[in-house]
Amino acid sequence: ITCPCALGLAVPAVVTAASGKLFRKGLLIKHGTALERLAEVDTVVFDKTGTLTMGVPELTNLGDHPRQAAELAMALAEASSHPLAQALVLGARAAGLRPETVADLTEVPGYGVEGTWHGRRVRLGRAGWCGAETDLGVTATWLCMGDGAPHAFTFTDSLRPGAAEAIAELRRQGKQIRLISGDTEGAVAALAARLGI
C-alpha cells in the first residue's frame, strides 16, 4: 500500500528514467503513455534501408559496362545527391574513371537525372523512367543513352550488425514482423528471406 503522493512522484520518475535509457539506445519516446502501449504491441514493422541495413550502398557491377557508359553514368550521378548516385560516383572514381561531358543536367525528383550528351537525351534513374521494365531482384539504377537497351548499375547494402538477432528475439517474443521499403520488390524479398521475415 502506498500513498497517492509517492505514486504520483514514482510514476513520472520511472517514465523519465526509462525514456532516458531508451534515448541512449536510439529510441525516442514522445509521450509517457507510449511505454504502456509498448507492452501491447503484437506487430513490428521495419523499414529496410538504413534500419535493417547500413544504408550505405556499394556499386557491384561497374566492370560489366563499357567504359563510355560508366563515365556517362558517372557524369549524370554527379548531379544528384541520391545515395545510389553518390555510390556510383565513388565506385567510378575508385576505378579511375572520368565523367563524360553532359549539358543541361536536371534532377527530376523521384525519377533521376537527365541531360544532353552528343545531342541525345540521356537519363540515369528509375527503371521505368529509363525504359527498363525488369526487376533484377537487386537494388539498381538505370542508364539510358538514347538508343539501345538501358544499362543497370547494381548495388548491395550490408546488413546492420544486430539486425538478425533483433528479428530473432522479436519473433521469440511472439511478435509478427513486417518489412516495408521503397526499394525494388526483389531486393526487399531477398532481405526478408535472409532475415526470415
- Tens digits of residue pLDDT in 130-169: 998 776 878 899 999 987 889 999 999 899 999 999 999 9
Mean pLDDT, rounded, for 32-56: 88
**What pLDDT does 155 receive?**
93
Active-site amino acid positions: 47
Pair 195, 164: CB distance under 8 Å:
yes
Grid cell locating 197: 521475415
pTM over 0.85: no
Helices 67-77 and 83-94: crossing angle in degrees, nearest 10, is: 130
Note the pLDDT tens digit of each residue in 51-106.
999 989 999 999 999 999 999 999 999 999 999 999 999 999 999 999 999 999 99
Contact yes or no for 170/64 (Cβ under 8 A): no
Q: How far is CA 126 from CA 76, 108, 155, 186, in A?
A: 13, 11, 14, 15
CA–CA distance, 76 with 101 (Å, rounded to integer): 9
**CB neighbours of 88 closer than 8 A, spacing ≥ 6?**
59, 73, 74, 77, 124, 141, 153
Give the span between the Cα atoms of 36 and 7, in whole angstroms: 16
